[in-house]
Amino acid sequence: MAFSTLVLLGMREQFNHTITFGYVAAVLLAPLWLPKLRKYRGALPVVIVGAISVGSGFWLLEYNSSTHVVEANSLVNNVVLLLGLLLSFGVVVWARELMPDWVIGLAYGLGLLMGVSRTGMALVNPWKFGFSIPVIIVVLSVASCAVKKTGQRRRVPEILSVLALAIYSGLNDSRSLFAMLGLALVLTVWQLIPRGRTRRRSMIKTVFAFAVLVIVAYEGGTSLLVDGYLGEAAQQRTVAQIDVSGSVLLGGRPEMAASLALFQSNPLGFGLGSVPSLEDVAVAKTGMAGINYQPNNGYVERYMLGDHFELHSSTADFWVLFGLPGLLLAIMIIAIMLRWIVVAVVHRQASSLVLFLSILTLWNLLFSPLYTSITSMALALGLTVIPKIFNGELRYPIRSLTRNPILPGSNVAPS
């Protein structure tokens, strides 16, 4: 039952608005997964803050009603979107009580594969806009299984899988995937290095190494793109983005400037289903013009700020739809991902599957729309909340990192 529900959640097959068969199954299974949330650090607070966010979204809708029109379909879809994240998260947490993480990833990945669109941009670049994420999840799930059978110290299946997927993504114009898989590869290889004398020292070293790796991955990836090693099309877009704002990130994601301008103009958020006003459009365009982006185009006026807000960042979408509670929810998810990466790598128990999902979710929270990010985000969040381990305290300060929790996303139990 858990396996088939995970497949349904991954498929995201809709029958009314954005309501899916998987969400309905998750609602019916709520008596089974709700009690499990208390066993994982941060799981219950995520669901509580998520529920508060829905209420905040409706309150903001009323608060801004004098200045903003409401689009009914958008309202319903956005409510279902957040509730779907919470439902899927709960099912993944429950499934961890019944099966290994790699089986969860396999079921979810198979569902994603069955739900891949065969139309639109997927016809232009099937890998980048269709099959990449499902295939990566399935392949890394199988690789994780192989590592579990051969031993934690022999990460060859994971290393070769991540390397092959990174190269293939780079050659198929998937620049962000190339960078994310590259970072996951380095962190996977890093775990082959013996731990420091103390866990605290290992933790500090891992945090420092992760920060350095992000910088190196960004600089190295930019150099490869500019030099044309990942194809002429990617080279041309990268150079153009750097010419616009001096940065690949700002040039490639001018929506960040629009989001910041809108936040400064209306920090409370806009609410569920709010249609951008002419003033909102002007504020966003002014912010985008500040980084030398030319905002007078159909993309800004029809996609970003047409009949709904779409700021091309899950964090910005959380805020614009659900206000400050939505922003808090995004920050909580970021904290859970970062904490899992540090703890899992320190203990040399991080599988490449969950490493990739964590890095993907962190990227999506900054640079990808909420709708396209929600499915993989639910899987990542469910696999990265860490089980509570009784140590005489109800809360777990930093010193708990020096202990040996059984980590989600690990290939073997701790030694």
Residue 413 lies in a domain: no
Task: Establish if 415 belongs to a structural domain.
Answer: no
- Report if residue 264 sits inside a domain: no
The answer on pLDDT for 400 being more than 50 is: no
Judge whether 286 lies within some domain: no
How many beta carbons lie within 10 A of that of residue 323, not counting itself?
25
What's the domain range around 32? 2-253+303-402
- Measured in whole angstroms, the distance separating CA 90 from the mean position of its chain's CA atoms is 16
Chain mean pLDDT for the chain: 83
Give the model's pLDDT for residue 147: 86
User: What pLDDT is recorded for position 9?
Assistant: 96
pLDDT the model gives residue 197: 61
Q: Which residues pair with 359 in a beta bridge?
A: none
CA angle 377, 102, 100 (to 5 degrees): 110
255-265 and 278-289 helices, crossing angle to 10° = 130
| Confidence (pLDDT) at 406 | 47
Helical ranges in 1-66 per DSSP H: 2-11, 21-28, 30-33, 43-63
Whole-number percent of the chain with pLDDT over 90: 53
pLDDT of 401 higher than 50: no
**Cβ neighbourhood burial of 348 (10 Å; 0-12, 13-18, 19+):** buried
- Distance, in Å, from the CA atom of 93 to the CA atom of 107, rounded to the nearest integer, reads 14
pLDDT reported for residue 97: 92
How many other C-beta atoms lie within 10 A of the C-beta of residue 179?
24
Question: Is the Cβ–Cβ distance between 365 and 328 less than 8 Å?
Answer: no
The answer, yes or no, to whether residue 405 has pLDDT greater than 50, is: no
| pLDDT, tens only, 99-146 | 999 999 999 999 999 988 777 777 778 888 889 999 999 999 999 998
Determine which helix (DSSP H) or strand (DSSP E) holds 414, and give its type and residue range: none
- Number of domains present in the structure of the chain: 1
Is 179 contained in some domain?
yes
| pLDDT classification of 412: cutoffs 50, 70, 90 | very low
For the segment 330-348, the average pLDDT, to the nearest whole number, is 92
Please compute the mean of the pLDDT values over residues 292-297 and round it to a whole number: 84
- pLDDT value, residue 396: 32
Q: Give the model confidence (pLDDT) of 218-240 as tens digits.
A: 666 666 555 555 555 555 555 55
In a domain, 295, yes or no: no
Provide the pLDDT for residue 263. Answer: 95
Q: Is 364 contained in some domain?
A: yes
pLDDT (0 to 100) of residue 192? 85
What one-letter code names the amino acid at 322? Answer: F
